Amino acid sequence: MHRMALRLLIAALVLASGFTLRVAWEQLSDPSTTNGDAWLVLLVLVGIVVAVVWLARRFSGPKTPTAQELARRFEMVGEMSGPQFEAFVADLFRAMGHRATVLGGAGDQGVDVIVGWQGERVAVQCKNYKRAVGNKPVQEVYAGARHHRCAQAWVVAPLGYTKGAHELARSTGVSLFDSNSIAQWIRQVDKLEKQREEVNQRHPEPSRTGTEHGANEEAIWEARKRSSWRPHPDDPT
């Protein structure tokens, strides 16, 4: 939906809510009005307010290009294949500033992506099922995390989890993430991108020669790897 059309729709709903509020006040002030009529008007008013809040949240969306692209891809998550969803999750973690390596395929031992998260290796299994995820992915990523020497085990599944999966995750320490988590991560990417833009505007990077700039970038990258990544022989190069 176009932003201007959205603003006009919200404005119309706000005007309608004001009119409805006025009618409700007149109804309540009129001794001849029945309680049923007054409550009906109030319910209509509540419905309009809920609609305005829902539209504002649904269509406000991210503002930065990276977050917008991730949000666009997330809207198509139901049409993604397994490997496409794994790549999407890895790109999302990278956009948040974490190193992510896609494993996938035979021999992954139940781990689709390994993420460097706050100095620890995290084993992530991605399940883009058409229904809630059961126990099996929790079992697989729990074992796979130990095989890949990861400190944490996560499952990412947009449509959520069964009661049994939640119970098993609690007892094994596996973290479960759903569509709400993905939306929150995209908002985090949007926030980080805005912060980077503000920093770049306040402190423009000084010009450097290509060789010097490349050497500095490589040194920074190597330092990040040493501080947040512990390689494993099974990780792909």
Return the domain boundaries, the chain: 3-60, 64-237
Angle at 149 between CA 143 and CA 151, to 5 degrees: 85
CATH level 3 topology of 64-237: Trna Endonuclease; Chain: A, domain 1 (3.40.1350)
Percent share of the chain, pLDDT over 90 = 51
Over residues 91-145, the pLDDT tens digits come to 999 999 999 999 977 778 999 999 999 999 999 999 999 999 999 999 999 999 9
Whole-number Å distance between alpha carbons of 197 and 205: 12
Over residues 15-56, the pLDDT tens digits come to 666 666 666 666 556 666 555 555 666 666 677 667 666 665
Cβ contact 134:167 at 8 Å? no
Left if phi > 0, otherwise alpha if psi is -120 to 50, otherwise beta: which for 193? Answer: alpha
